């Protein structure tokens, strides 16, 4: 499954990686490649968000290979040593292991499409496919919010007596109470509210749908937004609100969620946090309540329990307790 980390810094490439006019791969002529393997690979992905993310990744790689754009890159000329060089450059620029492996997955997918389009011989494709993922891990980024900061965050929303306050409280409550990714939250429509189950029908990564069951507090805040402000008309569940409290039917964006949280965080006077920290808070609370990893995995929409384990900080707590018990001097 493709991993897309939320908080990776933008990749900054040194202009000295390639000398002017020089590239790893030859540029194709207009008649050489009727179908782009990169475009074919992007079309094979299930979700628009995955296509957008991987297109960005492949655009960066194309630049590293000396092409002016994704479509101008001669992907059929890609070889194993090119792939190895790209992964090394990515690692040297400080990218996380999971992110480098995502780039590698994209390159393998493009190579497969190039082979299927008869733009690459089978031996070259097999050599690229045999490149192994990087191994290793880093300490998880971000943090889980303590209860007092959660209360302060919602108090900041409640102090705002406009429609913005009601919407922001409902949206943050849904992300926090269901452990949603911000893309999942803004992708919700009114029809996704399953009243009989007190749940939301969520479309996650890989185009996989799941039911997210809501705690009572989150459900009450969502109903307040629907009953008092939004109404029950079809369309996005969380919408933009213009000046003078004018409600629209325009869907919020991922970046809008980040901005809303930053505004409310400053108003609440709490430490810096990102939307994904609300998801971490959900996972931490579930695990602290004694839920098993499989249950948390399903609730968060993970494909593998290995991903869920990255949210489990209980081992760190045990290490701190063990440290405090030591008395060696």
Token pair belonging to 123: 């031996």
**Residue of 164, 172, 171 lying closest to 145 (CA atoms):** 172
Give the C-alpha separation, 164 to 60, whole Å.
37
pLDDT at 21 (0 to 100): 44
Report residues of the chain scoring pLDDT below 70.
Answer: 1-34, 137-140, 329
Contact (CB, 8 A) for 10 and 94: no
Our CA dihedral for 184, 187, 192, 194, rounded to 10 degrees, sits at 30
Token pair belonging to 286: 């579930």
What SS3 string covers 12-34? CCCCCCCCCCCCCCCCCCCCCCC
Domain boundaries defined on the chain? 37-129, 147-314
Contact (CB, 8 A) for 106 and 58: yes
Q: Is 8 exposed, middle or buried (0-12, 13-18, 19+ CB in 10 A)?
A: middle
Number of H helices, E strands in the chain: 14, 5
pLDDT at 306 (0 to 100): 83
Token pair belonging to 243: 């000046």
Give me the residues paired with residue 211 across strands. Answer: 201
Task: Catalogue the E-assigned strands of the chain.
Answer: 193-194, 199-203, 209-213, 239-242, 246-251
**Residue of 48, 60, 111, 50 lying closest to 303 (CA atoms):** 50
Gyration radius of the chain over CA positions: 23
Q: Nearest 5 degrees, angle CA 87-CA 91-CA 97?
A: 90
Give the C-alpha separation, 264 to 153, whole Å.
6
Rounded alpha-carbon distances, angstroms, from residue 26 to 66, 76, 88, 204: 8, 10, 21, 38
Query: pTM for the whole thing?
Result: 0.70
170-196 pLDDT per residue, tens: 999 999 999 999 999 999 999 999 999
pLDDT at 229 (0 to 100): 96
Tokens 């993310």 sit at which residue?
A: 53
Token pair belonging to 301: 């929409």
Angle between helices 163-178 and 147-159 (to 10 degrees): 160
Tokens 């609730």 sit at which residue?
A: 299
**Residue of 289, 318, 290, 295 lying closest to 308 (CA atoms):** 295
Residues forming the active site: 181, 205, 276, 279, 302, 311
10-69 pLDDT per residue, tens: 343 433 344 444 455 555 554 444 579 999 999 999 878 788 889 999 999 999 999 999
147-314: which CATH topology? hpI Integrase; Chain A (1.10.443)
Give the C-alpha separation, 236 to 238, whole Å.
6
């Amino acid at each position: 499954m493709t991993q897309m980390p939320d908080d990776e810094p933008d990749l900054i490439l040194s202009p000295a990686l390639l000398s002017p006019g020089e590239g790893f791969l030859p540029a194709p002529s207009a008649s050489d490649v009727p179908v782009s393997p990169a475009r074919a690979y992007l079309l094979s992905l299930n979700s628009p968000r995955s296509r957008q993310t991987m297109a960005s990744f492949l655009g960066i790689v194309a630049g590293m290979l000396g092409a002016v754009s994704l479509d101008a890159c001669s992907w059929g000329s890609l070889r194993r040593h090119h792939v190895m060089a790209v992964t090394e450059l990515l690692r040297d620029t400080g990218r996380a292991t999971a992110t480098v492996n995502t780039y590698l997955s994209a390159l393998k997918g493009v190579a497969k499409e190039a082979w299927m389009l008869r733009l690459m011989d089978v031996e070259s494709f097999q050599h690229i496919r045999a490149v192994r993922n990087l191994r290793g891990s880093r300490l998880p980024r971000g943090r889980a919010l303590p209860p007092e900061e959660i209360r302060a965050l919602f108090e900041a929303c409640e102090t705002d007596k406009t429609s913005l306050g009601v919407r922001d409280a409902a949206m943050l409550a849904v992300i926090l109470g269901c452990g949603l990714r911000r893309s999942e939250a803004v992708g919700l429509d009114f029809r996704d509210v399953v009243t009989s189950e007190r749940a939301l029908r969520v479309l996650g990564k890989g185009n996989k749908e799941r039911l997210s069951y809501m705690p009572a507090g989150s459900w009450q805040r969502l109903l307040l937004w629907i009953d008092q402000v939004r109404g029950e008309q079809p369309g996005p569940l969380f919408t933009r609100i213009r000046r003078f409290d004018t409600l629209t039917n325009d869907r919020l964006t991922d970046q809008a969620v980040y901005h809303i949280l930053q505004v409310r965080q400053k108003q609440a006077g709490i430490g810096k946090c990102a939307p994904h920290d609300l998801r971490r808070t959900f996972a931490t609370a579930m695990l602290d309540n004694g839920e098993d990893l499989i249950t948390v995995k399903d609730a968060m929409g993970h494909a593998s329990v290995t991903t869920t384990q990255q949210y489990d900080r209980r081992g760190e707590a045990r290490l701190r307790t063990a440290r405090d018990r030591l008395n060696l001097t």
